[in-house]
Structure 1
Amino acid sequence: MAEVLSQSQIDALLNSMQGGNSAPPKEDAPEKKYRKYDFKSPRKFTKDRLKMLGGIFDNYSRIINTRINGLLHANCEVEVESVEEQRYYEFSNALHDGAVLTVAHLNMEGGDEDEAPVLMYPTTTMMVSMMDRLLGGTGNVEDVPDDYEYTDLDLCLYENLTQEFVKCMGEGWANYIQLDFDFGRVESNPTLVQLIGLEETVVLVDLKLKFSNCEGGISIVLPGTMLTNIFTKINEDNPTRRTTAED
Protein backbone atom coordinates (compact mmCIF):
# COMPACT_ATOMS: atom_id res chain seq x y z
CA MET A 1 0.00 0.00 0.00
CA ALA A 2 1.36 3.39 -0.97
CA GLU A 3 2.51 5.64 1.83
CA VAL A 4 0.23 8.62 2.42
CA LEU A 5 2.01 11.92 3.08
CA SER A 6 0.92 14.04 5.94
CA GLN A 7 -0.12 17.65 5.41
CA SER A 8 3.11 18.93 6.96
CA GLN A 9 5.16 16.78 4.59
CA ILE A 10 3.17 18.06 1.61
CA ASP A 11 3.75 21.68 2.71
CA ALA A 12 7.49 21.05 3.15
CA LEU A 13 7.70 19.47 -0.31
CA LEU A 14 5.87 22.37 -1.96
CA ASN A 15 8.05 24.93 -0.19
CA SER A 16 11.24 23.18 -1.31
CA MET A 17 10.01 23.09 -4.90
CA GLN A 18 9.09 26.75 -4.86
CA GLY A 19 12.42 27.71 -3.30
CA GLY A 20 14.39 25.76 -5.89
CA ASN A 21 12.59 27.21 -8.90
CA SER A 22 12.39 30.79 -7.77
CA ALA A 23 14.77 33.08 -9.63
CA PRO A 24 16.70 35.75 -7.71
CA PRO A 25 15.05 39.16 -7.92
CA LYS A 26 16.41 41.31 -10.72
CA GLU A 27 18.11 44.52 -9.76
CA ASP A 28 16.70 47.60 -11.42
CA ALA A 29 19.14 48.83 -14.05
CA PRO A 30 20.19 52.44 -13.42
CA GLU A 31 18.28 54.84 -15.62
CA LYS A 32 20.47 56.19 -18.38
CA LYS A 33 20.52 59.95 -18.44
CA TYR A 34 20.71 61.91 -21.67
CA ARG A 35 21.77 65.50 -22.08
CA LYS A 36 19.23 67.68 -23.85
CA TYR A 37 20.46 69.26 -27.06
CA ASP A 38 18.82 72.31 -28.57
CA PHE A 39 18.93 71.80 -32.34
CA LYS A 40 17.61 75.32 -32.86
CA SER A 41 20.65 76.77 -31.08
CA PRO A 42 23.62 74.48 -31.77
CA ARG A 43 26.81 75.14 -29.85
CA LYS A 44 29.38 77.18 -31.74
CA PHE A 45 32.42 76.65 -29.52
CA THR A 46 33.91 73.43 -28.21
CA LYS A 47 34.74 72.70 -24.59
CA ASP A 48 38.42 73.18 -25.44
CA ARG A 49 37.78 76.70 -26.64
CA LEU A 50 35.72 77.59 -23.59
CA LYS A 51 38.47 76.13 -21.41
CA MET A 52 40.99 78.25 -23.31
CA LEU A 53 38.88 81.36 -22.64
CA GLY A 54 38.73 80.39 -18.97
CA GLY A 55 42.54 80.39 -18.84
CA ILE A 56 42.72 83.73 -20.67
CA PHE A 57 40.38 85.36 -18.19
CA ASP A 58 42.21 83.76 -15.28
CA ASN A 59 45.18 85.82 -16.48
CA TYR A 60 42.95 88.86 -16.86
CA SER A 61 41.61 88.37 -13.32
CA ARG A 62 45.11 88.50 -11.87
CA ILE A 63 45.91 91.63 -13.90
CA ILE A 64 42.84 93.63 -12.85
CA ASN A 65 43.23 92.34 -9.30
CA THR A 66 46.59 94.11 -9.13
CA ARG A 67 45.15 97.17 -10.88
CA ILE A 68 42.17 97.45 -8.52
CA ASN A 69 44.38 97.08 -5.46
CA GLY A 70 46.58 99.89 -6.76
CA LEU A 71 43.71 102.22 -7.65
CA LEU A 72 41.63 101.74 -4.52
CA HIS A 73 44.39 100.90 -2.01
CA ALA A 74 42.37 97.91 -0.84
CA ASN A 75 42.77 94.16 -0.99
CA CYS A 76 40.50 92.59 -3.58
CA GLU A 77 40.21 89.00 -4.77
CA VAL A 78 39.16 88.41 -8.38
CA GLU A 79 38.42 85.01 -9.91
CA VAL A 80 36.59 83.53 -12.89
CA GLU A 81 33.24 82.19 -11.78
CA SER A 82 31.95 80.81 -15.09
CA VAL A 83 32.47 80.80 -18.87
CA GLU A 84 29.29 79.99 -20.76
CA GLU A 85 28.08 80.11 -24.33
CA GLN A 86 24.58 81.47 -24.85
CA ARG A 87 22.46 83.71 -27.06
CA TYR A 88 22.69 87.44 -26.49
CA TYR A 89 18.99 87.78 -25.69
CA GLU A 90 19.51 85.54 -22.62
CA PHE A 91 21.89 88.13 -21.21
CA SER A 92 19.88 91.12 -22.46
CA ASN A 93 16.59 89.88 -20.99
CA ALA A 94 18.18 89.64 -17.54
CA LEU A 95 19.13 93.34 -17.51
CA HIS A 96 16.95 95.76 -15.59
CA ASP A 97 15.90 99.16 -16.93
CA GLY A 98 18.55 101.07 -14.97
CA ALA A 99 21.47 98.86 -15.98
CA VAL A 100 24.65 100.58 -17.17
CA LEU A 101 27.06 98.84 -19.54
CA THR A 102 30.53 99.66 -20.79
CA VAL A 103 31.01 99.28 -24.54
CA ALA A 104 34.48 98.35 -25.82
CA HIS A 105 35.87 97.58 -29.26
CA LEU A 106 38.50 95.11 -30.40
CA ASN A 107 41.48 96.58 -32.19
CA MET A 108 43.08 93.73 -34.16
CA GLU A 109 45.04 93.69 -37.39
CA GLY A 110 42.66 92.70 -40.17
CA GLY A 111 39.65 93.10 -37.88
CA ASP A 112 36.25 94.41 -38.91
CA GLU A 113 35.53 97.96 -37.75
CA ASP A 114 31.79 97.21 -37.74
CA GLU A 115 32.20 94.15 -35.55
CA ALA A 116 29.86 93.76 -32.58
CA PRO A 117 31.34 95.30 -29.41
CA VAL A 118 32.47 93.71 -26.18
CA LEU A 119 30.15 94.56 -23.28
CA MET A 120 31.04 94.82 -19.62
CA TYR A 121 28.48 94.86 -16.82
CA PRO A 122 29.70 95.32 -13.22
CA THR A 123 27.06 94.71 -10.55
CA THR A 124 25.66 97.92 -9.09
CA THR A 125 26.58 97.28 -5.45
CA MET A 126 30.17 96.49 -6.43
CA MET A 127 30.52 99.65 -8.52
CA VAL A 128 29.04 101.91 -5.83
CA SER A 129 31.43 100.38 -3.29
CA MET A 130 34.45 100.90 -5.56
CA MET A 131 33.42 104.48 -6.33
CA ASP A 132 33.13 105.16 -2.61
CA ARG A 133 36.68 103.83 -2.12
CA LEU A 134 37.88 105.94 -5.05
CA LEU A 135 36.60 109.03 -3.19
CA GLY A 136 38.40 108.04 0.01
CA GLY A 137 35.60 106.10 1.68
CA THR A 138 35.68 102.60 3.12
CA GLY A 139 33.47 101.06 0.46
CA ASN A 140 31.12 99.84 3.17
CA VAL A 141 27.78 100.45 1.46
CA GLU A 142 24.38 98.98 2.14
CA ASP A 143 22.84 96.65 -0.43
CA VAL A 144 22.18 98.85 -3.42
CA PRO A 145 18.98 98.09 -5.37
CA ASP A 146 19.35 96.92 -8.96
CA ASP A 147 17.31 99.88 -10.18
CA TYR A 148 19.72 102.35 -8.57
CA GLU A 149 20.13 105.41 -10.81
CA TYR A 150 23.69 106.64 -11.23
CA THR A 151 24.23 110.38 -10.85
CA ASP A 152 26.36 112.33 -13.32
CA LEU A 153 29.26 112.17 -10.86
CA ASP A 154 28.72 108.42 -10.49
CA LEU A 155 28.88 107.97 -14.26
CA CYS A 156 32.17 109.89 -14.46
CA LEU A 157 33.71 107.65 -11.79
CA TYR A 158 32.14 104.59 -13.43
CA GLU A 159 33.80 105.51 -16.72
CA ASN A 160 37.19 106.06 -15.08
CA LEU A 161 37.09 102.64 -13.44
CA THR A 162 35.86 100.67 -16.44
CA GLN A 163 38.39 102.37 -18.71
CA GLU A 164 41.06 100.73 -16.56
CA PHE A 165 39.31 97.36 -16.83
CA VAL A 166 39.12 97.61 -20.63
CA LYS A 167 42.72 98.78 -20.93
CA CYS A 168 43.95 95.58 -19.25
CA MET A 169 41.81 93.17 -21.25
CA GLY A 170 44.23 92.63 -24.12
CA GLU A 171 46.99 91.56 -21.71
CA GLY A 172 45.04 88.45 -20.80
CA TRP A 173 45.43 87.20 -24.39
CA ALA A 174 49.19 87.79 -24.50
CA ASN A 175 50.06 84.06 -24.47
CA TYR A 176 48.13 83.57 -27.71
CA ILE A 177 47.88 86.80 -29.67
CA GLN A 178 48.48 90.54 -29.47
CA LEU A 179 45.13 92.28 -28.96
CA ASP A 180 44.06 95.74 -27.89
CA PHE A 181 40.63 96.71 -26.64
CA ASP A 182 39.54 100.34 -26.87
CA PHE A 183 37.07 101.93 -24.50
CA GLY A 184 33.99 103.07 -26.42
CA ARG A 185 31.40 104.59 -24.13
CA VAL A 186 29.18 104.04 -21.13
CA GLU A 187 25.68 103.02 -22.21
CA SER A 188 22.97 103.90 -19.69
CA ASN A 189 20.05 102.59 -21.75
CA PRO A 190 21.20 99.17 -23.00
CA THR A 191 17.66 97.80 -23.25
CA LEU A 192 16.76 100.55 -25.74
CA VAL A 193 19.84 100.16 -27.95
CA GLN A 194 20.59 97.04 -29.96
CA LEU A 195 24.28 96.62 -29.27
CA ILE A 196 24.44 92.98 -30.44
CA GLY A 197 21.93 90.94 -32.46
CA LEU A 198 19.53 89.22 -30.07
CA GLU A 199 20.09 85.80 -31.67
CA GLU A 200 23.86 86.15 -31.94
CA THR A 201 25.97 83.61 -30.10
CA VAL A 202 28.06 85.14 -27.33
CA VAL A 203 30.32 83.84 -24.59
CA LEU A 204 29.50 85.23 -21.16
CA VAL A 205 32.41 85.40 -18.72
CA ASP A 206 31.44 86.06 -15.11
CA LEU A 207 34.11 87.33 -12.73
CA LYS A 208 33.67 87.38 -8.97
CA LEU A 209 35.17 90.27 -6.99
CA LYS A 210 35.49 90.18 -3.23
CA PHE A 211 36.56 92.91 -0.80
CA SER A 212 36.60 92.52 2.96
CA ASN A 213 33.22 94.24 3.29
CA CYS A 214 31.63 93.85 -0.14
CA GLU A 215 31.44 91.40 -3.00
CA GLY A 216 29.94 91.40 -6.46
CA GLY A 217 30.84 90.62 -10.01
CA ILE A 218 31.60 91.72 -13.54
CA SER A 219 29.96 90.10 -16.56
CA ILE A 220 31.84 90.33 -19.86
CA VAL A 221 30.00 89.58 -23.10
CA LEU A 222 32.19 88.41 -25.99
CA PRO A 223 30.44 88.30 -29.40
CA GLY A 224 30.76 84.96 -31.19
CA THR A 225 31.78 86.53 -34.51
CA MET A 226 34.62 88.39 -32.81
CA LEU A 227 35.85 85.23 -31.08
CA THR A 228 35.73 83.27 -34.34
CA ASN A 229 37.92 85.92 -36.00
CA ILE A 230 40.36 85.84 -33.08
CA PHE A 231 40.62 82.03 -33.11
CA THR A 232 41.15 82.07 -36.88
CA LYS A 233 43.95 84.60 -36.47
CA ILE A 234 45.55 82.49 -33.73
CA ASN A 235 45.47 79.44 -36.03
CA GLU A 236 47.09 81.39 -38.86
CA ASP A 237 49.83 82.87 -36.69
CA ASN A 238 50.44 79.82 -34.48
CA PRO A 239 49.76 76.54 -36.34
CA THR A 240 51.01 74.53 -33.34
CA ARG A 241 48.06 75.81 -31.29
CA ARG A 242 45.54 74.61 -33.86
CA THR A 243 44.47 71.55 -31.90
CA THR A 244 43.34 73.59 -28.91
CA ALA A 245 41.64 76.32 -30.88
CA GLU A 246 39.75 74.47 -33.60
CA ASP A 247 36.14 73.30 -33.39
Structure 2
Amino acid sequence: MAGPDVLSQSEIDELLSALSTGVVTAEEIKTEEKQRKIKIYDFKRPDKFSKDQIRTLYMLHENFARLLNTYLSAHLRTLIHIDVASVDQLTYEEFIRSMPNPSVISIFQMRPLKGNAILEINPNIVLAIIDRLFGGPGLPPAKPRSLTDIEEAIIRKVINKAMENMQDAWKQVVAIEPRMEALETNPQFTQIVPPNDMVVLITLQAKIGQAEGLMNICIPYLVLEPIMSKLTTTFWVSAATAKQASPETVNVLKRKIERTLIPFIVELGRATVTVHELLDLGVGDVLQLETKAENDLSLMIGSREKFKCKPGIIANRNAVQITQVISQGDDNNE
Protein backbone atom coordinates (compact mmCIF):
# COMPACT_ATOMS: atom_id res chain seq x y z
CA MET A 1 0.00 0.00 0.00
CA ALA A 2 3.02 2.24 -0.08
CA GLY A 3 3.54 4.83 -2.80
CA PRO A 4 6.30 4.69 -5.45
CA ASP A 5 8.61 6.98 -3.37
CA VAL A 6 8.64 4.69 -0.32
CA LEU A 7 11.63 2.35 0.15
CA SER A 8 11.04 -1.37 0.28
CA GLN A 9 12.20 -3.38 3.29
CA SER A 10 15.16 -4.83 1.37
CA GLU A 11 16.32 -1.34 0.34
CA ILE A 12 16.07 -0.14 3.94
CA ASP A 13 18.12 -3.15 5.12
CA GLU A 14 20.82 -2.47 2.51
CA LEU A 15 21.01 1.20 3.48
CA LEU A 16 21.32 0.40 7.20
CA SER A 17 23.96 -2.24 6.45
CA ALA A 18 26.01 0.25 4.40
CA LEU A 19 25.82 2.84 7.18
CA SER A 20 26.82 0.35 9.89
CA THR A 21 29.80 -1.03 7.92
CA GLY A 22 31.08 2.41 7.00
CA VAL A 23 30.71 1.94 3.23
CA VAL A 24 28.78 5.22 3.12
CA THR A 25 28.21 7.92 5.70
CA ALA A 26 25.19 10.05 6.44
CA GLU A 27 27.08 13.14 5.25
CA GLU A 28 27.77 11.50 1.87
CA ILE A 29 24.10 10.70 1.46
CA LYS A 30 23.11 14.30 2.24
CA THR A 31 25.74 15.65 -0.21
CA GLU A 32 24.52 13.31 -2.94
CA GLU A 33 20.91 14.42 -2.41
CA LYS A 34 21.94 18.09 -2.72
CA GLN A 35 23.90 17.46 -5.93
CA ARG A 36 21.29 15.28 -7.61
CA LYS A 37 17.69 16.39 -7.21
CA ILE A 38 16.34 14.00 -9.82
CA LYS A 39 13.17 12.00 -9.27
CA ILE A 40 13.13 8.59 -10.94
CA TYR A 41 10.02 8.16 -13.08
CA ASP A 42 8.63 4.68 -13.65
CA PHE A 43 6.82 4.54 -17.01
CA LYS A 44 5.16 1.27 -16.00
CA ARG A 45 3.23 3.05 -13.25
CA PRO A 46 2.72 6.70 -14.22
CA ASP A 47 1.22 9.12 -11.70
CA LYS A 48 -2.42 9.68 -12.56
CA PHE A 49 -3.34 11.93 -9.66
CA SER A 50 -1.75 15.30 -8.93
CA LYS A 51 -0.82 16.39 -5.41
CA ASP A 52 -3.82 18.73 -5.37
CA GLN A 53 -6.17 15.89 -6.30
CA ILE A 54 -4.64 13.64 -3.63
CA ARG A 55 -5.12 16.45 -1.11
CA THR A 56 -8.78 16.86 -2.12
CA LEU A 57 -9.41 13.12 -1.78
CA TYR A 58 -7.79 13.28 1.65
CA MET A 59 -10.15 16.08 2.71
CA LEU A 60 -13.19 14.26 1.28
CA HIS A 61 -12.46 11.12 3.24
CA GLU A 62 -11.62 13.01 6.41
CA ASN A 63 -15.25 14.12 6.26
CA PHE A 64 -16.30 10.52 5.53
CA ALA A 65 -14.30 9.30 8.54
CA ARG A 66 -16.04 11.83 10.81
CA LEU A 67 -19.50 10.78 9.57
CA LEU A 68 -18.69 7.09 9.94
CA ASN A 69 -17.23 7.73 13.38
CA THR A 70 -20.47 9.43 14.49
CA TYR A 71 -22.66 6.65 13.10
CA LEU A 72 -20.68 3.78 14.63
CA SER A 73 -20.37 5.55 18.00
CA ALA A 74 -24.15 5.90 18.24
CA HIS A 75 -24.87 2.46 16.78
CA LEU A 76 -22.37 0.45 18.82
CA ARG A 77 -22.36 2.66 21.95
CA THR A 78 -18.64 2.25 22.49
CA LEU A 79 -15.43 4.20 21.91
CA ILE A 80 -14.79 4.63 18.17
CA HIS A 81 -11.83 6.34 16.57
CA ILE A 82 -11.46 6.53 12.76
CA ASP A 83 -8.86 8.68 10.98
CA VAL A 84 -7.46 8.95 7.47
CA ALA A 85 -3.97 7.42 7.60
CA SER A 86 -2.83 7.98 4.00
CA VAL A 87 -3.89 8.51 0.40
CA ASP A 88 -1.65 6.79 -2.17
CA GLN A 89 -1.71 5.88 -5.83
CA LEU A 90 -0.53 2.45 -6.87
CA THR A 91 -1.39 -0.39 -9.23
CA TYR A 92 -4.40 -2.57 -8.59
CA GLU A 93 -2.17 -5.65 -8.38
CA GLU A 94 -0.21 -4.11 -5.49
CA PHE A 95 -3.43 -3.37 -3.66
CA ILE A 96 -4.72 -6.94 -4.09
CA ARG A 97 -1.44 -8.39 -2.80
CA SER A 98 -1.57 -6.20 0.30
CA MET A 99 -4.99 -7.49 1.44
CA PRO A 100 -5.21 -10.27 4.01
CA ASN A 101 -7.06 -13.50 3.29
CA PRO A 102 -9.73 -13.81 4.58
CA SER A 103 -10.94 -10.24 4.59
CA VAL A 104 -14.25 -8.41 4.20
CA ILE A 105 -14.31 -6.85 0.74
CA SER A 106 -17.31 -4.85 -0.43
CA ILE A 107 -17.52 -4.15 -4.17
CA PHE A 108 -19.67 -1.09 -4.83
CA GLN A 109 -20.69 1.27 -7.59
CA MET A 110 -20.47 5.07 -7.49
CA ARG A 111 -23.32 5.99 -9.83
CA PRO A 112 -23.45 7.89 -12.15
CA LEU A 113 -19.71 7.12 -12.41
CA LYS A 114 -18.97 3.95 -14.36
CA GLY A 115 -17.09 0.99 -12.95
CA ASN A 116 -16.66 -0.44 -9.47
CA ALA A 117 -14.69 0.46 -6.36
CA ILE A 118 -13.76 -1.49 -3.22
CA LEU A 119 -14.23 -0.95 0.51
CA GLU A 120 -12.02 -3.46 2.35
CA ILE A 121 -12.32 -3.79 6.13
CA ASN A 122 -9.92 -5.74 8.30
CA PRO A 123 -11.61 -8.83 9.83
CA ASN A 124 -10.62 -7.70 13.35
CA ILE A 125 -12.73 -4.56 12.93
CA VAL A 126 -15.67 -6.40 11.34
CA LEU A 127 -15.80 -9.12 14.00
CA ALA A 128 -15.49 -6.53 16.78
CA ILE A 129 -18.50 -4.67 15.31
CA ILE A 130 -20.49 -7.90 15.09
CA ASP A 131 -19.53 -8.90 18.63
CA ARG A 132 -20.69 -5.51 19.89
CA LEU A 133 -23.99 -5.70 17.97
CA PHE A 134 -24.65 -9.17 19.41
CA GLY A 135 -24.28 -7.82 22.95
CA GLY A 136 -20.60 -8.59 23.54
CA PRO A 137 -17.85 -6.22 24.73
CA GLY A 138 -16.49 -5.77 21.19
CA LEU A 139 -13.27 -7.73 21.73
CA PRO A 140 -11.18 -8.71 18.67
CA PRO A 141 -11.12 -12.46 17.81
CA ALA A 142 -8.19 -14.70 18.61
CA LYS A 143 -7.52 -15.12 14.89
CA PRO A 144 -9.23 -13.87 11.70
CA ARG A 145 -11.95 -16.07 10.23
CA SER A 146 -14.62 -15.98 7.56
CA LEU A 147 -18.09 -14.63 8.33
CA THR A 148 -21.12 -16.82 8.86
CA ASP A 149 -24.32 -16.15 6.87
CA ILE A 150 -25.92 -14.35 9.81
CA GLU A 151 -22.81 -12.23 10.42
CA GLU A 152 -22.66 -11.37 6.72
CA ALA A 153 -26.29 -10.18 6.77
CA ILE A 154 -25.52 -7.94 9.78
CA ILE A 155 -22.36 -6.42 8.31
CA ARG A 156 -24.14 -5.70 5.01
CA LYS A 157 -26.42 -3.29 6.89
CA VAL A 158 -23.41 -1.55 8.44
CA ILE A 159 -21.68 -1.24 5.06
CA ASN A 160 -24.85 0.13 3.44
CA LYS A 161 -24.94 2.83 6.10
CA ALA A 162 -21.27 3.55 5.42
CA MET A 163 -22.21 4.00 1.74
CA GLU A 164 -24.75 6.67 2.79
CA ASN A 165 -22.03 8.45 4.77
CA MET A 166 -19.76 8.34 1.72
CA GLN A 167 -22.52 9.89 -0.37
CA ASP A 168 -22.84 12.75 2.14
CA ALA A 169 -19.05 13.26 2.20
CA TRP A 170 -18.78 13.47 -1.61
CA LYS A 171 -21.80 15.67 -2.29
CA GLN A 172 -19.79 18.88 -1.94
CA VAL A 173 -17.75 17.87 -5.00
CA VAL A 174 -20.04 15.58 -6.99
CA ALA A 175 -23.38 13.85 -6.36
CA ILE A 176 -22.83 10.09 -6.27
CA GLU A 177 -24.97 7.16 -5.16
CA PRO A 178 -22.73 4.40 -3.78
CA ARG A 179 -24.46 1.01 -3.89
CA MET A 180 -22.96 -2.26 -2.71
CA GLU A 181 -22.88 -4.91 -5.45
CA ALA A 182 -21.20 -7.88 -3.75
CA LEU A 183 -19.42 -8.97 -0.57
CA GLU A 184 -16.32 -11.16 -0.90
CA THR A 185 -13.76 -12.62 1.49
CA ASN A 186 -11.01 -13.70 -0.96
CA PRO A 187 -9.01 -10.88 -2.63
CA GLN A 188 -8.43 -13.06 -5.70
CA PHE A 189 -12.16 -12.90 -6.53
CA THR A 190 -12.23 -9.11 -6.76
CA GLN A 191 -10.73 -8.29 -10.15
CA ILE A 192 -12.56 -5.06 -10.91
CA VAL A 193 -9.83 -3.65 -13.21
CA PRO A 194 -6.71 -5.04 -14.95
CA PRO A 195 -3.74 -5.61 -12.59
CA ASN A 196 -1.59 -2.79 -14.01
CA ASP A 197 -4.31 -0.12 -13.88
CA MET A 198 -3.68 2.73 -11.45
CA VAL A 199 -5.92 3.18 -8.44
CA VAL A 200 -6.11 5.62 -5.55
CA LEU A 201 -6.02 3.98 -2.14
CA ILE A 202 -7.50 5.78 0.87
CA THR A 203 -6.42 4.05 4.09
CA LEU A 204 -8.39 4.66 7.29
CA GLN A 205 -7.04 3.69 10.70
CA ALA A 206 -9.94 2.35 12.80
CA LYS A 207 -10.07 1.57 16.50
CA ILE A 208 -13.24 0.08 17.95
CA GLY A 209 -12.91 -0.67 21.64
CA GLN A 210 -9.82 -2.88 21.92
CA ALA A 211 -9.82 -3.87 18.25
CA GLU A 212 -7.61 -2.05 15.75
CA GLY A 213 -7.30 -2.42 12.00
CA LEU A 214 -7.36 -0.73 8.62
CA MET A 215 -10.21 0.17 6.31
CA ASN A 216 -9.16 0.65 2.68
CA ILE A 217 -11.12 2.40 -0.06
CA CYS A 218 -9.76 1.54 -3.51
CA ILE A 219 -11.08 3.65 -6.41
CA PRO A 220 -9.70 2.99 -9.92
CA TYR A 221 -8.51 5.93 -12.00
CA LEU A 222 -10.98 4.96 -14.74
CA VAL A 223 -13.87 5.53 -12.32
CA LEU A 224 -12.69 9.02 -11.31
CA GLU A 225 -11.47 10.12 -14.76
CA PRO A 226 -14.74 11.94 -15.74
CA ILE A 227 -14.60 14.12 -12.58
CA MET A 228 -10.83 14.67 -12.27
CA SER A 229 -11.29 18.40 -12.93
CA LYS A 230 -13.52 18.64 -9.85
CA LEU A 231 -11.02 16.95 -7.54
CA THR A 232 -9.19 20.17 -6.72
CA THR A 233 -9.14 22.34 -3.63
CA THR A 234 -10.15 25.32 -5.80
CA PHE A 235 -13.35 23.57 -6.88
CA TRP A 236 -13.92 22.43 -3.27
CA VAL A 237 -13.77 26.00 -1.94
CA SER A 238 -15.89 27.45 -4.76
CA ALA A 239 -18.55 24.74 -4.30
CA ALA A 240 -18.70 25.40 -0.56
CA THR A 241 -19.07 29.15 -1.17
CA ALA A 242 -21.79 28.68 -3.77
CA LYS A 243 -23.86 26.57 -1.37
CA GLN A 244 -24.01 29.23 1.31
CA ALA A 245 -27.56 30.42 1.89
CA SER A 246 -28.44 33.77 0.31
CA PRO A 247 -31.57 35.90 1.04
CA GLU A 248 -32.93 35.06 -2.41
CA THR A 249 -32.54 31.32 -1.77
CA VAL A 250 -34.24 31.62 1.62
CA ASN A 251 -37.17 33.51 0.08
CA VAL A 252 -37.59 30.90 -2.66
CA LEU A 253 -37.62 28.09 -0.11
CA LYS A 254 -40.10 30.02 2.04
CA ARG A 255 -42.50 30.48 -0.90
CA LYS A 256 -42.28 26.79 -1.77
CA ILE A 257 -42.98 25.77 1.82
CA GLU A 258 -46.00 28.10 1.96
CA ARG A 259 -47.47 26.32 -1.09
CA THR A 260 -46.93 22.85 0.37
CA LEU A 261 -50.12 20.81 0.87
CA ILE A 262 -50.71 19.36 4.33
CA PRO A 263 -53.54 17.13 5.68
CA PHE A 264 -56.19 19.16 7.55
CA ILE A 265 -58.58 16.94 9.51
CA VAL A 266 -61.43 17.77 11.90
CA GLU A 267 -62.08 14.91 14.31
CA LEU A 268 -65.76 14.74 15.32
CA GLY A 269 -65.10 12.28 18.11
CA ARG A 270 -63.86 8.85 19.10
CA ALA A 271 -65.47 5.66 20.32
CA THR A 272 -64.04 2.46 21.76
CA VAL A 273 -65.66 -0.83 20.79
CA THR A 274 -64.75 -4.46 21.21
CA VAL A 275 -63.92 -6.72 18.29
CA HIS A 276 -67.20 -8.58 18.89
CA GLU A 277 -69.18 -5.33 18.68
CA LEU A 278 -67.29 -4.35 15.53
CA LEU A 279 -68.17 -7.63 13.85
CA ASP A 280 -71.85 -7.18 14.74
CA LEU A 281 -72.14 -3.67 13.29
CA GLY A 282 -74.64 -3.23 10.51
CA VAL A 283 -76.46 -0.55 8.52
CA GLY A 284 -78.47 1.74 10.81
CA ASP A 285 -76.48 1.06 13.99
CA VAL A 286 -75.54 4.10 16.07
CA LEU A 287 -72.18 4.61 17.77
CA GLN A 288 -71.99 6.88 20.80
CA LEU A 289 -68.91 9.12 20.58
CA GLU A 290 -66.93 10.29 23.61
CA THR A 291 -67.30 13.94 22.48
CA LYS A 292 -70.35 15.86 23.78
CA ALA A 293 -72.32 18.24 21.58
CA GLU A 294 -71.13 21.32 23.52
CA ASN A 295 -67.46 20.28 23.43
CA ASP A 296 -64.94 21.74 20.98
CA LEU A 297 -63.69 19.47 18.21
CA SER A 298 -60.03 18.62 17.59
CA LEU A 299 -58.47 19.96 14.40
CA MET A 300 -55.53 17.76 13.35
CA ILE A 301 -52.56 18.87 11.23
CA GLY A 302 -51.08 15.57 10.09
CA SER A 303 -51.19 13.42 13.21
CA ARG A 304 -50.86 16.28 15.74
CA GLU A 305 -53.70 18.21 17.37
CA LYS A 306 -53.07 21.89 16.53
CA PHE A 307 -56.42 23.71 17.09
CA LYS A 308 -59.74 23.45 18.87
CA CYS A 309 -62.84 24.41 16.84
CA LYS A 310 -66.63 24.42 16.66
CA PRO A 311 -68.57 23.03 13.68
CA GLY A 312 -70.93 25.14 11.58
CA ILE A 313 -72.17 25.95 8.09
CA ILE A 314 -71.19 28.84 5.81
CA ALA A 315 -72.90 29.26 2.42
CA ASN A 316 -74.38 25.77 2.58
CA ARG A 317 -70.94 24.26 3.15
CA ASN A 318 -69.58 22.56 6.25
CA ALA A 319 -67.12 24.75 8.15
CA VAL A 320 -65.38 25.12 11.52
CA GLN A 321 -64.51 28.14 13.62
CA ILE A 322 -61.16 28.15 15.43
CA THR A 323 -61.62 28.64 19.17
CA GLN A 324 -58.18 27.77 20.53
CA VAL A 325 -54.59 27.40 19.30
CA ILE A 326 -52.66 24.50 20.86
CA SER A 327 -48.97 25.42 20.99
CA GLN A 328 -47.71 22.38 22.89
CA GLY A 329 -44.96 20.63 20.91
CA ASP A 330 -43.94 23.71 18.86
CA ASP A 331 -40.21 24.40 18.55
CA ASN A 332 -40.56 27.57 20.63
CA ASN A 333 -41.95 25.61 23.59
CA GLU A 334 -39.68 22.55 23.50
Do they superpose with TM above 0.5? yes
CA distance in 2, matches of 1:142, 1:93: 23
Deviation, structure 1 residue 156: 1.4
Aligned to 1:129: 128
2: CA distance, partners of 1:230 / 1:127: 32
Deviation at 1:97, TM superposition (A): 4.1
Question: Are the equivalent residues in 2 in contact too, given 1:97–1:191 (CA < 8 A)?
Answer: no
Q: Which residue of 1 aligns with 2:163?
A: 166
- Aligned-partner Cα distance in 2 for 1:63–1:97: 28
Structure 1 runs (4+) deviating above 4 angstroms are none
Closer, same or farther: CA 30–117 of 1 in aligned 2, 3 Å: same
TM-score under structure 2 length normalisation: 0.57
Paired residue type of 1:43: D
Secondary structure of 1:177's counterpart equals coil
Farther off after superposition, 166-175 or 199-208: 166-175
Larger Rg, first or second structure (1 or 2): 2
**How far, CA to CA, are the matches of 2:133 and 2:142 in structure 1?**
18
Q: What is the CA deviation profile of residues 100-140 of structure 1, one whole-angstrom value per residue up to 9, with x for unaligned ones?
A: 310110112xx4xxx32110110011110011011111102
Deviation digits for residues 64-87 of structure 1 (CA, Å, limit 9, x no counterpart):
011111211112111100000011
| Matched residue, 2:71 | 67
Alignment of 1:173-184 (within 5 A): 173-184=170-181
Separation in 2, partners of 1:230, 1:104: 18
Give distance in 1, aligned partners of 2:184 and 2:141. 25
Aligned to 2:87: 83
Is the 8 Å Cα contact of residues 125 and 143 (structure 1) preserved in structure 2?
no
Give the corresponding residue for 1:21: none
**5+ unaligned residues in a row in structure 1: which ranges?**
1-26
Give the direction of change, closer, same or farther, for the CA distance of 1:143–1:80 in structure 2 (3 Å limit). Answer: farther
Question: 2:216 corresponds to which letter in structure 1?
Answer: S
- Counterpart check, 1:31 vs 2:32: yes
> Whole-Å Cα distance in 2 between the matches of residues 57 and 192 of structure 1?
26
TM-aligned CA deviation for residue 193 of structure 1:
4.5
Which moves more between the two structures, 86-95 or 208-217?
208-217
Matched, 1:212 2:209: yes
Deviation at 1:37, TM superposition (A): 2.0
Partner of 1:226: 223
Bigger proportion of residues as strand = 2
Shift of 1:171: 1.1
Q: 2: CA distance between counterparts of 1:242 and 1:130?
A: 33
CA distance in 2, matches of 1:123, 1:105: 20
Partner of 1:241: 235
Residue 50 to residue 71, structure 1, CA distance change in 2 (3 Å): same
- In structure 2, what residue type is equivalent to 1:207? L
Q: Partner amino acid for 1:226?
A: V
Specify the alignment match of 2:200 in structure 1: 203
CA RMSD of aligned residues (A): 2.5
TM-score, with length taken from structure 1: 0.76
Question: 1 or 2 for the larger relative contact order (CA 8 Å, sep ≥6)?
Answer: 1
Q: Does 1:185 align with 2:203?
A: no
The number of residue pairs the alignment matches comes to: 207
Alpha carbons 1:117, 1:195 under 8 Å: kept: yes
- Per-residue CA deviation, residues 41-84 of structure 1 (Å, 9 max, x unaligned), is 11011011000100000010111011111211112111100000
Cα 1:192–1:107 change in 2 (3 A) is closer
SS of match in other structure, 2:182: strand
